[in-house]
C-alpha cells in the first residue's frame, strides 16, 4: 500500500529543518534519565528484581489491587526477560512449568491490568502480535524500537530522538503532543551478517541461514 504523498512531504520538511539534528551530544543508545523506573535500571543505580517487584506492588496497592501469586509470577517473567518484549502467549508458556494451573486468560488479564496502570505499555510491530514492555514512571515518552523483519528480534533505543521534531510540529501546527511511538523496521546486524537482505521473503531468508 502506498504511503500518502502528504506524509512524505511533511517528512522532507522535518528532515530539512536546520534545527533537527542528531549530534554526538544526542547519542542514540544511552540514557541518563533518573526517572523512577519499575522496569529497568539507569546508569546511576542498579535495581534488583525484588526492588522492582516491590515498586510494582506499591503501585498495585495504591489502586486497591493485590499482588496475587499469579500476578507476581507474571511480573517476574517480564522482569527476567525484559529485553524479549513478550506477548501474553510467551508469558503463559514461560509460566507453565512454574504454575501448571495458571491459564492464558489469567495472564492476559494481569498484563492488561499492568497496562491500564501504566506499569507496562503495549507495543505492536505490525505482525499482529501485542507485546508488553516496561515503561519508566514519569517518563514523558516511550523509548523507541528496532524491529527485524527477518528474525523478529526487537532492540530498544532509550534516547528520545524526536524532541526536535516535536518542537517543529508544535510550532507549525499548534498541536500539543502528549506521546509518540517510533519503530524502525528493517534487518538486524546478525541477519545482515548471514547475508539476509530487506527484499528476501521467508523462504529466501531461510536458505541463507547456516545449517547447524
Q: Is the pTM of this model over 0.85?
A: no
Domain range for 186 is 140-212
Report how many domains make up the chain.
2
Sequence ranges of the binding site for Zn(2+): 148, 151, 188, 191
Q: Are residues 133 and 64 in the same domain?
A: yes
| Same-domain check for residues 78 and 108 | yes
Q: Please, what is the average pLDDT of the chain?
A: 73
Per-residue pLDDT band at 185 (split at 50, 70, 90): confident
Per-residue pLDDT, 46: 56
- The alpha carbon torsion through 53, 57, 58, 63 (nearest 10 deg) reads 150
The confidence score (pLDDT) of residue 204 equals: 58
**Pair (86, 102) in one structural domain:** yes
Q: Which whole number is the average pLDDT over 94-113?
A: 94
Same domain, 88 and 35: yes
Do 72 and 55 meet the contact criterion of CB atoms below 8 Å apart? no
Determine the average pLDDT of the residues in 46-71: 90
Residue showing cell 493485590: 66
Rounded Cα–Cα distance for residues 198 and 187 (Å): 6
Residue 175 burial (CB count, 10 A): 10
For residue 4, is it within any domain? no
Look at residue 21 and tell me if it is in a domain. Answer: no
pLDDT classification of 25: cutoffs 50, 70, 90: very low
**Backbone phi, then psi, for 52, in 5-degree steps?**
-65, -40
Rounded Cα–Cα distance for residues 89 and 127 (Å): 15
> Residues at the annotated binding site?
142, 148, 151, 163, 180, 188, 191
Residues 6+ apart with CB under 8 A from 71: 60, 65, 110, 113
Query: Which residue would you say has higher pLDDT here, 49 or 46?
Result: 49
Is residue 17 one of the residues assigned to a domain?
Answer: no
What pLDDT band is residue 52 in, cutting at 50, 70 and 90? confident
**Least confident among 4-18, 46-60, 175-189:** 4-18
Please report the pLDDT score of residue 93 as a whole number: 96
Q: What is the DSSP string of 119-172?
A: SEEEEE-SSS-EEEEE--TT-SS--EEEEETTT--EEEE-S-TTHHHHHHHHHH
Same domain, 119 and 87: yes
Question: What integer pLDDT is reported at residue 107 of this predicted model?
Answer: 96
Decide which of 122, 139, 156 is a domain's last residue: 139
Rounded Cα–Cα distance for residues 204 and 121 (Å)? 34
Residues at the binding site for Fe cation are 142, 163, 180
Of 139, 165, 198, which one is at a domain's C-terminal end?
A: 139
CATH code, domain with 196: 3.30.1490.190
What tens digit of pLDDT does each residue of 105-129 get?
999 999 999 999 989 888 877 778 8
Q: What angle do CA 124, 156, 193 make, to 5 degrees?
A: 100
Residue 19 confidence (pLDDT) = 41
**What are 61's three cell numbers?**
496497592
pLDDT-above-90 percentage for the chain: 26
Amino acid at each position: 500500500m502506498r504511503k500518502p504523498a502528504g506524509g512524505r512531504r511533511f517528512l522532507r520538511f522535518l528532515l530539512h529543518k536546520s534545527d533537527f539534528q542528531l549530534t554526538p551530544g544526542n547519542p542514540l543508545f544511552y540514557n541518563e534519565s533518573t526517572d523512577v523506573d519499575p522496569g529497568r535500571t539507569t546508569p546511576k543505580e542498579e535495581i534488583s528484581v525484588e526492588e522492582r517487584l516491590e515498586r510494582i506492588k506499591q503501585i498495585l496497592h495504591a489502586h486497591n489491587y493485590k499482588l496475587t501469586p499469579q500476578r507476581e509470577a507474571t511480573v517476574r517473567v517480564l522482569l527476567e526477560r525484559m529485553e524479549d518484549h513478550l506477548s501474553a502467549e510467551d508469558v503463559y508458556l514461560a509460566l507453565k512449568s512454574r504454575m501448571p494451573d495458571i491459564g492464558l486468560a489469567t495472564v492476559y488479564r494481569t498484563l492488561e491490568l499492568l497496562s491500564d496502570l501504566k506499569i507496562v505499555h503495549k507495543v505492536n510491530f505490525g505482525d499482529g502480535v501485542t507485546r508488553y514492555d516496561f515503561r519508566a514512571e514519569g517518563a514523558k515518552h516511550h523509548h523507541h524500537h528496532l524491529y527485524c523483519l527477518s528474525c523478529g528480534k526487537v532492540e530498544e533505543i532509550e534516547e528520545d530522538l524526536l524532541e526536535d521534531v516535536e518542537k517543529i510540529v508544535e510550532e507549525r501546527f499548534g498541536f500539543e503532543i502528549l506521546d509518540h511511538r517510533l519503530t524502525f523496521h528493517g534487518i538486524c546486524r546478525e541477519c545482515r551478517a548471514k547475508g539476509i537482505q530487506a527484499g528476501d521473503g521467508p523462504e529466501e531468508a531461510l536458505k541463507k541461514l547456516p545449517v547447524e
